[in-house]
Amino acid sequence: MVTAPRGLTLWNDPFLRVRRAADAKLAAIDPAAVSSVAVIKHAALGDLVLTRPFLLETRRHFPSARIVLGLASNYRRGAPLDLVDSVHVVERGLPWRRALRNYRELGTHDVLFDLTGTARSRWLVLLNRPDLAVGLAGSRLDGRLYDVVVPRGGFKYEAETFLDLLQAVGLPVGWPPEFALPLPPRPQAAPYVLHFVTASTPGKSWPADRFAQLARALAVARPGQTQVLLAGIADWEQAVAVRLRADLAGVPGLVVLPREAELEAWCAHATVCVANDTGARNLAIAFGTPTVGVFFDTPPFRYLPRFGRHEAVFAPCRALPEVADVAAAVLRLVPA
């Protein structure tokens, strides 16, 4: 493990964008003496889960600091509340005067890390000027807003991208990323493969009939594993579950779970989780469950860890992956 110096360090990296005098400002900050840190992440379940390694490292490097997590009112499921001292929630749909007051309730902090990089999060930084602001690149104006702007790519695991904000100011991080996600009770004794069959939108969802074909094939190839299918809680997702339940009725070794099924428990204890680009797969990764991601709409590498046992299946030209290719990836991870 690399040991960080007493003050923060600005590395001579040509890809960083740095405000004037940021080097001296960083050198004057003793992490052990920092009293408050704000971390802004406005995102859905999957990306909120991926902030856990960042928050654990932030706690380690700023041991005396009160950590405030900035959330959006429409995205709160999966927020790592166990790793922070308090939260600030940006409410949607407020009149502009109340919205301004809501934004300013975040308050000023010694250090602020913006893991979001949206117009909303930039307004938070502008209205609550911290002593030091570190953010991800995304706008030509970022150099005027943040003291340090860290480049963001789409070809490495997103949790690692978040950790770059710490490393950019001289704070080393551990490997592999630690999630420390509390383990829920096992939902059933028998081993199972979990198929999460929907995503945030229908356009990001591998067709339900292909999930049905996959489940049938795996039920034959791995008869010792129950094939468990689960959809999200939105009405359109539950409509997919209803169709699958009808199509697969009576097939041995297949189960379609109801809406009220406990997502965290099923993700935590699966032999393998097969999923679209969705929060369920990120949950499974955080629990240490092997996963197979099915990609065609979003870049696969942003959600493909280089640790653990994980595979991403995608086809040329963003075509839909074939059932046989996804099945082969699952079988590589499921013992015979």
pLDDT tens-digit map of 127-173:
999 999 999 998 888 888 999 999 998 899 999 999 999 999 999 99
Query: Is-same-fold flag (17-167; 192-333)?
Result: yes
Q: Which residues contact 190 (CB under 8 A, 6 or more apart)?
A: 226
Q: Which residue from 149, 176, 150, 168 is spatially nearest to 50, judged by alpha carbons?
A: 176
Burial class (CB in 10 A: 0-12, 13-18, 19+), 140: exposed
- Alpha carbon of 27 to those of 23, 172, 288: distances in Å? 6, 16, 37
CATH number of 17-167: 3.40.50.2000
Q: Which residue from 263, 252, 282 is spatially nearest to 194, judged by alpha carbons?
A: 263
**ω into 63 cis (within 30 of 0):** no
* CA–CA gap between residue 169 and residue 150 (Å, rounded): 10
Q: Can you read off the two tokens belonging to residue 313? A: 């299946």
Domain boundaries, the chain: 17-167, 192-333
* pTM, rounded to two decimals: 0.94
Q: Please state which CATH class domain 192-333 belongs to.
A: alpha beta
Q: How confident is the model at residue 13 (pLDDT cuts 50, 70, 90)?
A: confident
> pLDDT tens, 83-136?
999 999 999 999 999 999 999 999 999 999 999 999 999 999 999 999 999 999
* CA–CA gap between residue 195 and residue 249 (Å, rounded): 16
